[in-house]
Structure 1
């Protein structure tokens, strides 16, 4: 019996399930609110959610008062529920993503248990939960973690339906669940929720069955009336409402700009070569990237197994499809992470000493990227960073001794776990899993908050100063939507008018003043950003009142 055969089942006891789910939940929620919101994406999603609550309009999103057509409404609803329960705070905005990443990991465990056995199932859950890309989007207040959960649920239920068909059964519950997940995905992100799992299913049918049988099964899948009723019943009401409300503006903004144009051209200068994702995928799967070599080496073996062929087609379709996209963002490739993680878990279960050495190196590399780079920032940044804003940000703050000490202890612990323990039962899965969880806890609890404060702290503190003043506020020459979140008031992007506050980049301020004329007083300034009170040139200006990290006047 091969490791990947459909009959190599396994199960976890109830206590084991609770323990694994609890560990992954702790990892998902660890220090979730300890880091400021990152701009632009987290700030934009969070401010749109805040405005939806303030405006009492849960069917339409705006950003600083302007319609926002970037994404459908689904994730905003979940964020709004969370914020209504926990208040306007980072934890609340990120909670839906954290729970989605948690559910995503558990979905892989539940799928793998009866098909690949206990060891591979647990490995898949731990690998996914501790991979760099999943750690990132699982604590980002955006739609991507939720979309990945829904894509995974759809594709896994599509395979469950194919399994039932192979046994001569109808498999309607799995098929209709897949339709429901697709409907939810359309409500969270858009057409990609149908394209990715649909392509995996069609490719498997075309490459695995005689063409007549493939067409018959495709007809059964596409012709399920109840499935379509679920999909359309979930997705269509909101789309119909937006089309009725905004008409052509919704079509141009959502369908054309953020879907068709995003695929056909580099939107917002997010381009890349055709090999972009073949580099990005291993980086996002750190520290587990060496296991991809095991997947590639075993492609023929995987292809011979029907389920593993489905996983290969799913993963490589995502790689190929988004490699041809004009707009390239790193997280797009995570739409194909689930199948690769399942295959990587199989490689881990069969790995030997060479793989242990490679994983040890990658664990330490990831620790160096997240913690070591922060500890040595003052050494390498002066010769590398040239733009004035980023020089001011990165060179204005030293790593704390706490960060240096904790990251050093974590490195020693990883080395001990991976090289010194030799007791029976301390398998490579046990060693690398414990090391990856430890590294994740250190990175999320110590390194990420430090980086967040380095990059976003000045924006948050400027907003807190502005929140204690009555004047309207704008963003002048920059786009930091988290400023509006923390101030809890809209902050449009335009030049200030007399008597308004403005968030500015200090390096650009002289040129901006030369264009519009006027005077200002500095209310707050920190590492390249400033909060000013603008006055027309004929109005007397009060003296500057704040410089550096201070409290509001």
Structure 2
């Protein structure tokens, strides 16, 4: 156990690594355009708050948006008010939340396992491939993951130290999570706590956690007022839309085409943890030891709650399973403290860098099977992967292979270097490249549309970032005379007389006669 004065690294290189990891979500933060659908939907909804002059209710393209609670919109509104309506400002709340998530994970893992484990846990969150995307996305998920981590860690400290202040902290974090994304902020910590107590027969402890009067009153004081105000403003339809459609109904049927089979999250987990997937494979080989350790059992059950819950959900998105990663990283960090087969832990890194080097060829092969509009979007794809991409990924592949065979470089250090190489590859190269290919035409058309007269309309496409970049109200409907319409080349023929004013790789901005 590490005392409070000993939480922070002693060696200068460990201090430097922690500082780099905490700041890592800011790498490349403002470089790629906003991604549709998710980043576009969140930022367009916040933009609509400014356009409507209403910062209590969320709307998207003129329609009420009951999908998510209000907290992330408020934070985005504050950020762009202070720093302007650029990509950096839109993503800043998520980056700050991610930095806090990384720091909280380091502090907790250090306190309950040790400093080295704390650095490894922070490393996984900062540099794993899937998390490199979510930690710098202008959505609610980075913020939710912070609150889930704080709730789970505070719960464990309450159990270990019998200090009621940690119980209040856990319920406060769940309240803020509820204001961020709704009931999942209660379900994940509650499910983990229930299963952990059930596995040990600690039913009184579970009831003490689940039914504390003071913490519940704190939860209601923080989470309830906005929901009450929204119900008063929007009527009962808000509660039905939020709780029934956008929460319960997601488990019955796929929404917005986001479905999948029961094994959907198996490859998601394996790929999203790269280059640290070897730690997961090591944990699978030591499940008995993991289960016998009460802390690691807690982390494992926390992960399994999210994994199983969303595996059986009708609606599936890759980042849903990340809600369990606050617990999973504890297991992974413990595996790094007791490394077994070096090759098993380190081999995923060169595999990942090899995959990144093959990515342009893979995308080119896939392009031939896409619809005509999407083939146009990928025009010039080989040029998007410049020399810097090839040099970084090629050097990273060679270094990761060297780390694998040179045993004088210990496994923990090799793991950390691989993580940093992979994190930079994702944040500084791959994500910006994909963003430019996928989203640049929409951003360019929107900036042009900002000064054009007439109403702005989306026709046959769902790209809400068009409203964010245009800074004007956009509607999704059949075009009328005088409208300025963003559509795809294949749909232009359905708009007789439409005069294109801008074209780029399959997207067309056209004036209706």
TM-score in same-fold range (> 0.5): yes
Alignment pair present for 1:519 and 2:500? no
Hey, what does 1:206 align to over in structure 2? 198
**Residues 116-138 of structure 1 deviation map (CA, whole Å, 9 limit, x = unaligned):** 11221111111221111211111
- SS of the aligned residue for 1:524 comes to strand
Q: Distance in 1 between matches of 2:137 and 2:370?
A: 28
Matches within 5 A, 1:238-257: 238-257=226-245
Alignment pair present for 1:330 and 2:318? yes
Alignment pair present for 1:137 and 2:134? yes
Q: Distance in 2 between matches of 1:6 and 1:295?
A: 24
Hey, what does 1:367 align to over in structure 2? 353
Alignment pair present for 1:492 and 2:470? no
Q: Offset of 1:243 from its aligned partner?
A: 0.7
Q: Which runs of 5+ in 2 are unaligned?
A: none
Hey, what does 2:217 align to over in structure 1? 229
**Residues 158-192 of structure 1 deviation map (CA, whole Å, 9 limit, x = unaligned):** 1111213xxxx4x2101010110011011000001
Q: Offset of 1:335 from its aligned partner?
A: 0.9
Q: Distance in 2 between matches of 1:216 and 1:442?
A: 48
Q: Distance in 1 between matches of 2:120 and 2:253?
A: 38
Q: Distance in 2 between matches of 1:296 and 1:404?
A: 34
Alignment pair present for 1:476 and 2:462? no
Residues 501 and 533, structure 1, Cα contact 8 Å, conserved in 2: yes
Q: Distance in 1 between matches of 2:268 and 2:367?
A: 27
2:170 to 175, 178, 195: 178
CA RMSD of aligned residues (A): 2.1
Residues 367 and 443, structure 1, Cα contact 8 Å, conserved in 2: no
Residues 30 and 445, structure 1, Cα contact 8 Å, conserved in 2: yes
- SS of the aligned residue for 2:503 comes to strand
Residues 49 and 80, structure 1, Cα contact 8 Å, conserved in 2: yes
Alignment pair present for 1:34 and 2:19? no
Q: Offset of 1:371 from its aligned partner?
A: 5.1
Hey, what does 1:550 align to over in structure 2? none
Q: Distance in 2 between matches of 1:50 and 1:415?
A: 47
Hey, what does 2:333 align to over in structure 1? 345
Q: Offset of 1:12 from its aligned partner?
A: 2.8
- SS of the aligned residue for 1:367 comes to helix
Q: Offset of 1:377 from its aligned partner?
A: 5.6
Residues 270 and 327, structure 1, Cα contact 8 Å, conserved in 2: yes
Alignment pair present for 1:12 and 2:8? yes
Q: Distance in 2 between matches of 1:20 and 1:248?
A: 50
Residues 10 and 117, structure 1, Cα contact 8 Å, conserved in 2: no
Hey, what does 2:413 align to over in structure 1? 430
Q: Offset of 1:219 from its aligned partner?
A: 3.1
Residues 42 and 140, structure 1, Cα contact 8 Å, conserved in 2: yes
Residues 33 and 89, structure 1, Cα contact 8 Å, conserved in 2: yes
Hey, what does 2:508 align to over in structure 1? 530
Residues 457 and 485, structure 2, Cα contact 8 Å, conserved in 1: yes
After TM superposition, the score normalised by the length of structure 2 is 0.94
After TM superposition, the score normalised by the length of structure 1 is 0.87
1:88 to 60, 68, 85: 85
Q: Offset of 1:436 from its aligned partner?
A: 1.6
Matches within 5 A, 1:96-115: 96-115=93-112
Hey, what does 2:486 align to over in structure 1? 503
**Residues 473-516 of structure 1 deviation map (CA, whole Å, 9 limit, x = unaligned):** 11111110011111111211112211111001101222x23xxx
Q: Which runs of 5+ in 1 are unaligned?
A: 536-553
- SS of the aligned residue for 2:75 comes to helix
Residues 23 and 99, structure 2, Cα contact 8 Å, conserved in 1: no
- SS of the aligned residue for 1:386 comes to coil
Q: Distance in 2 between matches of 1:175 and 1:51?
A: 37
Q: Offset of 1:30 from its aligned partner?
A: 0.6
Q: Offset of 1:316 from its aligned partner?
A: 1.4
